[in-house]
C-alpha cells in the first residue's frame, strides 16, 4: 500500500494553478482566479459546484498565494464557537483568510456570526458548497461574496487527472500500472475527481503482482468487494435518492423508509432529503392530498432547526405519509402544458376586461370595462373569458381520478358546463 496514510487524492492535490486541471473559465490566464493568485489579493468567495471538481483545492491554492494567516473549518463539525475563535485570531493578526467547507450546512445563526468580520474585512471568506447558495446562504452574507460556479469535469479532465497522479505520486508511479480500459473508472467516479483518484488507489493496491493492467472487469470486481455501500458524494448518492423518490411515487412506504435509512446511515445531508420530499409532495401528490405539501414543508423547516439525530424521526414520518398518500401529477402537468403553450404562442395580449385600470387614460381605453366581479353573482361565479382570444377555451389543468380532485372536477364542471370538457 502507499507509504503515506493520506488518500491518493490528498497526496496529489495541486499546490499551484499550473497543475490544476479543469475549470478553465476561472483559472486560465487572464481569468478571475488566475488574476487573484497573480495579484495576491482576494475578495470573499463562494465556490458552488458538484463534489470533487476542485472547490477545496482552489481555496488552498488561493490561500498559498496570499501573505496572510489561513484557517479552515468544516461546517459538519464546527459551530459558532469555532467561528468566533477564528475571528478573534484574525482580529489579533489584523486579517485572515477563512475557508469553510460545506458552508450550506451552517444554520442561520452560524452564518450570522460571520457577517461582522467579513463586512469589516477582518475575514476574507471562501466557502464551498454543493447546494444552490441562493437557498442555503443567508442573503446578507451572500451579498458580501462573489459566487463562482464550478462546472462538472468531463472525461478528458478526469483522464488527465489520473495520468498526472500516476506520474506525481511516488507509490503509484512505482506500480507501473497500465490502464487498458477506462469506462468503469469513469462511470464509478461519477465525475468526482476525489472519488476517481481514491478508486484508482483502491484498484491499484488490489492488483496481483503479476498483472498490472486495469480493465473494466477488474475494476467492477474490486469495487463490488471492497467499496462502501453508500457514498454521499458519489454514484450511490444518486442511485439511492432515485430509489427513494421512486418508492415514494410508487406508494411503497416500506421501500421508502429502507432507502431513507440507507441515506441516514451514509451521512446524507437531511436538508437534501427533505427538499426532495417537498418537490415530490407537489409534483407527484399535488391536489390529490394538499396536506402532503404542508407536511413536507414543515419537515424541511424542522430538519433545518434540529438536525441529526432527532430529525430522522421527522424524515421517517414524512416519507411514510407521502408514500401512503394518493398520487396525482395533474398540477405538474398543468404547468408543463401552460409553459408549452406560452412557448408556442408568445406574449398574447391580456383581454381588456381583466386588465388593471389605475389611471384615467387606461379607463378611457376600456381597461377593465365589462369585468364581472365574481362575488357579485350567485355562487360567487360569473362566466367570462380570462384567456387571451387566440387561446380561449384551452384546457391546461385536468384533475386526476381521486377523491380530492374529483370534487374539483365536479365544481369546475358546474361552473363551466361543457366549455373545458370537465
φ, ψ of residue 179 to 5 degrees: the values are -90, 110
Residue 128, classed as helix, strand or coil, is strand
Rounded-to-integer distance, Cα 136 and Cα 48, Å: 11
Q: Residue 6 is placed in which grid cell? A: 493520506
Residue 317, classed as helix, strand or coil, is helix
> DSSP labels for 359-411?
SHHHHHTTTTTT---GGGSGGG------S-GGGTT-------SSHHHHHHHHH
Which residue blocks in 125-169 are alpha helix, DSSP H? Answer: 133-136, 139-142, 155-168
Q: Which helix or strand (DSSP H or E) is residue 127 part of?
A: strand 123-129
Helix axis angle, 193-206 to 155-168, nearest 10°: 50
Cβ–Cβ < 8 Å for 319, 256? yes
Q: Residue 362 is placed in which grid cell? A: 387606461
φ, ψ of residue 294 to 5 degrees: the values are -65, -45
φ, ψ of residue 146 to 5 degrees: the values are -95, 125
Rounded-to-integer distance, Cα 115 and Cα 138, Å: 10
Q: Which residue has the cell 396536506?
A: 291
Rounded-to-integer distance, Cα 386 and Cα 376, Å: 17
Question: What pLDDT is attached to residue 359?
Answer: 84
Question: What pLDDT is attached to residue 228?
Answer: 47
Question: What pLDDT is attached to residue 125?
Answer: 94
Per-residue pLDDT of the chain (422 residues; tens, 9 = 90+): 444 568 899 999 999 999 999 999 999 999 999 999 998 888 999 999 988 899 999 999 998 888 788 999 888 778 888 889 999 999 998 899 999 988 988 888 888 889 989 999 899 999 999 888 988 888 999 999 999 999 999 999 999 999 999 999 998 888 888 999 999 898 888 888 998 998 899 888 888 776 688 999 888 888 776 544 455 555 567 788 889 999 999 999 999 999 999 888 877 889 999 999 999 999 999 999 999 999 999 999 999 888 888 899 999 999 999 999 999 999 999 999 999 999 999 889 889 888 888 888 888 888 889 899 999 999 999 899 999 999 999 999 999 999 999 999 999 999 999 888 88
Residues 6+ apart with CB under 8 A from 385: 351, 392, 393
Question: What pLDDT is attached to residue 238?
Answer: 75
Residues 6+ apart with CB under 8 A from 143: none
Rounded-to-integer distance, Cα 277 and Cα 125, Å: 32
Rounded-to-integer distance, Cα 413 and Cα 41, Å: 66
Rounded-to-integer distance, Cα 191 and Cα 293, Å: 33
Question: What pLDDT is attached to residue 3?
Answer: 46
Residue 214, classed as helix, strand or coil, is strand
Amino acid at each position: 500500500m502507499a507509504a503515506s496514510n493520506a488518500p491518493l487524492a490528498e497526496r496529489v492535490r495541486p499546490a499551484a494553478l499550473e497543475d490544476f486541471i479543469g475549470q478553465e473559465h476561472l483559472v486560465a490566464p487572464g481569468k478571475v482566479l488566475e488574476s487573484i493568485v497573480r495579484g495576491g489579493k482576494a475578495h470573499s468567495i463562494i465556490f458552488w459546484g458538484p463534489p470533487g471538481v476542485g472547490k477545496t483545492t482552489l481555496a488552498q491554492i488561493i490561500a498559498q498565494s496570499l501573505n496572510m494567516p489561513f484557517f479552515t473549518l468544516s461546517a459538519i463539525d464546527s459551530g459558532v464557537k469555532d467561528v468566533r475563535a477564528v475571528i478573534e485570531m484574525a482580529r489579533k493578526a489584523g486579517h485572515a483568510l477563512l475557508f469553510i467547507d460545506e458552508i450550506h450546512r451552517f444554520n442561520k445563526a452560524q452564518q450570522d456570526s460571520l457577517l461582522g468580520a467579513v463586512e469589516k474585512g477582518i475575514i476574507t471568506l471562501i466557502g464551498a458548497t454543493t447546494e444552490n447558495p441562493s437557498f442555503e446562504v443567508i442573503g446578507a452574507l451572500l451579498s458580501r461574496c462573489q459566487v463562482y460556479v464550478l462546472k462538472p469535469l468531463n472525461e478528458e479532465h478526469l483522464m488527465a487527472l489520473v495520468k498526472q497522479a500516476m506520474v506525481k505520486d511516488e507509490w503509484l508511479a512505482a506500480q507501473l500500472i497500465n490502464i487498458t480500459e477506462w469506462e468503469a473508472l469513469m462511470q464509478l467516479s461519477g465525475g468526482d475527481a476525489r472519488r476517481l483518484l481514491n478508486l484508482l488507489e483502491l484498484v491499484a493496491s488490489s492488483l496481483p503482482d503479476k498483472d498490472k493492467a486495469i480493465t473494466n472487469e477488474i475494476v467492477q470486481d474490486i469495487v463490488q468487494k471492497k467499496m462502501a455501500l453508500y457514498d454521499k458524494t458519489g454514484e450511490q448518492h444518486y442511485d439511492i435518492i432515485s430509489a427513494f423518490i421512486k418508492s415514494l411515487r410508487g406508494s411503497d412506504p416500506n421501500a421508502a423508509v429502507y432507502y431513507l435509512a440507507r441515506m441516514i446511515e451514509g451521512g446524507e445531508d437531511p436538508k437534501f432529503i427533505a427538499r426532495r420530499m417537498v418537490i415530490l409532495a407537489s409534483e407527484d401528490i399535488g391536489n390529490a392530498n394538499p396536506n402532503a405539501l404542508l407536511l413536507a414543508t414543515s419537515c424541511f423547516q424542522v430538519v433545518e432547526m434540529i438536525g441529526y439525530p432527532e430529525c430522522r424521526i421527522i424524515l421517517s414520518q414524512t416519507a411514510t405519509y407521502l408514500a401512503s398518500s394518493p398520487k396525482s401529477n395533474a398540477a405538474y402537468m398543468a404547468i408543463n402544458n401552460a409553459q408549452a403553450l406560452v412557448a408556442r404562442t408568445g406574449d398574447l395580449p391580456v383581454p381588456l376586461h381583466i386588465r388593471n385600470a389605475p389611471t384615467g387614460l387606461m379607463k378611457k381605453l376600456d381597461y377593465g370595462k365589462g369585468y364581472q366581479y365574481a362575488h357579485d353573482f350567485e355562487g360567487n361565479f360569473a362566466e367570462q373569458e380570462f384567456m387571451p382570444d387566440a387561446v380561449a377555451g384551452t384546457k391546461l389543468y385536468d384533475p386526476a381520478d381521486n377523491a380530492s380532485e374529483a370534487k374539483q372536477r365536479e365544481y369546475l364542471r358546474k361552473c363551466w358546463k361543457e366549455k373545458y370538457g370537465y
